[in-house]
Amino acid sequence: MLAGKNILLIISGGIAAYKVLEVIRRLRDRDINIRAILTKGGAEFVTPLSVAALTENKVYQDLFSLTDEAEMGHIRLSREADLVLVAPASADILAKMATGQASDLATTALLATNKRVLIAPAMNVEMWNHPATQANIATLESRGVMRIGPSAGDLACGEVGSGRLAEPVEIIAAVIDFLEGQPVGKPLAGKKAVVTSGPTHEPIDPVRYIANRSSGKQGHAIASALTAAGADVTLISGPVALPDPAGVNVVRIETAQQMLDAVQAALPADIAVCAAAVADWRVADEAGQKLKKDGSGRIPDLKLSENSDILATISKVGPNRPGLVIGFAAETENVIAHARAKRVRKGCDWILANDVAPGTGTFGGDENEICLISGENAASDEVWPRQDKAGVARALVQRIIRHFP
């Protein structure tokens, strides 16, 4: 079905341009024809020779080249494609697209095209979050421009947040979906999702609390990835040192009871992902004043009470039960066996099992290794390779997309 399809690829400036070479190679493996326009900024990161070698076509750069105009005018260049792909799409080219500028070959071709356009934004997190960029994105999407990404994670500039170019496999999948007549960009549009993230703090007295080592990185990444897929996301977060994901409704809590109350207030929802590391116990009698040593050597007698089970509570059958309930099993031994038993005990649909034993670096770290358990035996298990937590989030969202019709 894909052989003979034509793509006009516009490569704008940005360090992520190197990833597009892999996109070209994989699309050519499917016999998709690619003509490329390389902007002046794009040529600072990838060479015309490398793009030409992979596309097996001439690379176009100059609007005013009479030779190029004789061979392939910018009108024909934009009209003979089945899809126009802009990757990476810098803040600059998005602004020019939104305002209808035609200052170089790339923007002229974009203004002249009568074909669908798919953009893959990539830029610094502050540039992405800037109201001007968000307004430009809204304008382009209102005109029918499709979008894949950006993702959240570590950026080339050293900052963390939304702005990473979608991975090549995601861009390729979006292109193939479009060419095969499938929806692109917002497959979870119209779906409502609730995500929990981070630890909970259970107070002992006004200055001390019981907590765990959760950083919230995985839950925040999942909220961001769900939003990028078009879902309406409420993120209920314990105390973390992370920026709020763009486009997400964030509810901040401290205790397990507050988290449960916030989750129930956010229902009904289509999807619930319980990624928070909720404290199992709380102090039964919180001290009103700071507990102090009196020199006697006596240790306070802290009586603990069990916290409500958020995952089990929302997994119960009822009118507000989400259509898909996903939990996490953070284990230090017998990871798969404990996770499989937890899925049955809690009544949720899926469990994502991960090893948080000392030395794995999972708690508080940037990477995770996941086994998705959706049944009671190993035949249905899906083992995902170790990757950064943003990659885990994207993989989970792709799996969620396949779950819904």
| Positions at the binding site | 280, 290, 328, 342, 346
213 and 177 Cβ atoms separated by less than 8 Å: no
The residues annotated with a catalytic role in the active site are: 157
DSSP code, position 219:
H
CATH architecture of 192-403: 3-Layer(aba) Sandwich (3.40)
Q: What is the mean pLDDT of the chain?
A: 88
Rounded-to-integer distance, Cα 257 and Cα 225, Å: 26
Return residue ranges of the chain for CATH 3.40.50.1950: 6-179
| Positions at the binding site for CTP | 280, 290, 328, 342, 346
Instruction: Indicate the range of 206-220, 258-272, 386-400 predicted with least confidence.
Output: 386-400
More confident residue, 5 or 142: 5
Q: How confident is the model at residue 194, as a pLDDT?
A: 98
Q: What is the pLDDT of residues 300-351, one digit of tens each?
A: 888 999 999 999 999 998 899 999 999 998 777 888 889 999 999 999 999 9
Q: Give whole-number Cα distances, 26 to 82, 102, 126, 168, in Å.
A: 17, 30, 31, 9
User: Using 50, 70 and 90 to split pLDDT, how confident is the model at 101?
Assistant: very high
Q: What is the pLDDT of residues 225-235, one digit of tens each?
A: 898 788 999 99
Can you name the CATH fold of 6-179? Rossmann fold (3.40.50)
Which residue's entry shows tokens 């809204």?
138
350, β-bridge pairs: 326
pTM confidence score: 0.60
CB burial of residue 293 (10 Å; 0-12, 13-18, 19+): exposed
Those residues with Cβ within 8 angstroms of residue 95's Cβ, 6 or more apart along the chain or in another chain: 132, 133, 136
Mean per-residue pLDDT, 157-171 = 78
DSSP string, 291-353: ----SS-PPP---EEEPP-HHHHHHSSSTT--SEEEEEEEESSSHHHHHHHHHHHHT-SEEEE
Return residue ranges of the chain for CATH 3.40.50.10300: 192-403
Rounded-to-integer distance, Cα 370 and Cα 344, Å: 18
274, β-bridge pairs: 196, 327
DSSP code, position 385:
P
Residue 18 has pLDDT above 60, yes or no: yes
